[in-house]
Amino acid sequence: MTAQALPQVNPHDDSFYQDPFPTYAMLRSEAPVYEIPDTPGLFFVTTWALVREALMDPSRFSNVMPHARRTSPPAEVAADVEALRAQGYPYTPALGTNDPPQHTRYRKMVNRAFTVRSLAWMEPLVDEVADQLAAALPDGEVVDIMEAVTIPLPV
């Protein structure tokens, strides 16, 4: 995998969050591996085959992300973020931000809690909440699906 030079893609920009799909399509066709500006070592990997390659090779492609804290915050909170960073913000290893063998150890701790059998009791609750959220959606109107469904739905 190699990164390619392109016009800057800013994943922190509000327009990206409003509609990221054109950017994803452009990256898939023009730069399937794209290093995020101002965040050295953090990449978009945009094709199934390359994502699989990265996931299967933690010796070359790490989930450890202490560098992610170096992203540029939005201007309106930049001073506050910098003040917090100056106090020291320790990197806290977790399941999603670790590689084997630490990832494997953390995963073993939670595996039983996430089996089909362990979660079966939640299905009626999730179905009920999903039905209520769907019923509350206004007909014929544009809705922020994240706010209306995804955030309040227990998963």
Instruction: Quick: pLDDT tens for 21-71.
Output: 999 999 999 999 998 887 777 888 999 999 999 989 988 888 887 655 556
pLDDT reading at 89 higher than 80? no
- Please say whether the dihedral angle defined by the alpha carbons of residues 13, 15, 20 and 26, taken in this order, is positive or negative: negative
Sequence-distant contacts of 100-107: CB under 8 A, at least 24 apart:
100/58, 103/58, 103/63
Phi-psi category of residue 102: left, alpha or beta, with phi > 0 → left and psi -120 to 50 → alpha = alpha
- Using a pLDDT cut of 70, give the percent of the chain over it: 89
What are the extents of the domains in the chain? Answer: 1-46
Q: State residue 64's pLDDT score.
A: 81
120 pLDDT band (50/70/90 cuts)?
very high
Q: State residue 69's pLDDT score.
A: 52
Whether residue 103 contacts residue 111, with contact meaning beta carbons closer than 8 Å, is answered with: no
Whether residue 137 contacts residue 143, with contact meaning beta carbons closer than 8 Å, is answered with: yes
Q: State residue 66's pLDDT score.
A: 60
pLDDT reading at 116 higher than 70? yes
Average pLDDT of the chain is 85
Question: What's the CA gap between 42 and 62, in Å, rounded?
Answer: 10
Q: 40 in helix, strand or coil?
A: coil
Whether residue 74 contacts residue 15, with contact meaning beta carbons closer than 8 Å, is answered with: no
Sequence-distant contacts of 89-95: CB under 8 A, at least 24 apart:
91/65, 91/66, 93/64
pLDDT reading at 90 higher than 60? yes
Q: What 8-state DSSP symbol labels residue 9? A: -
Q: Is the pTM of this model over 0.85?
A: no
Q: Whats the size of the chain, residue-wise?
A: 155
133 pLDDT band (50/70/90 cuts)?
very high
Peptide bond into 37 cis (omega under 30): no
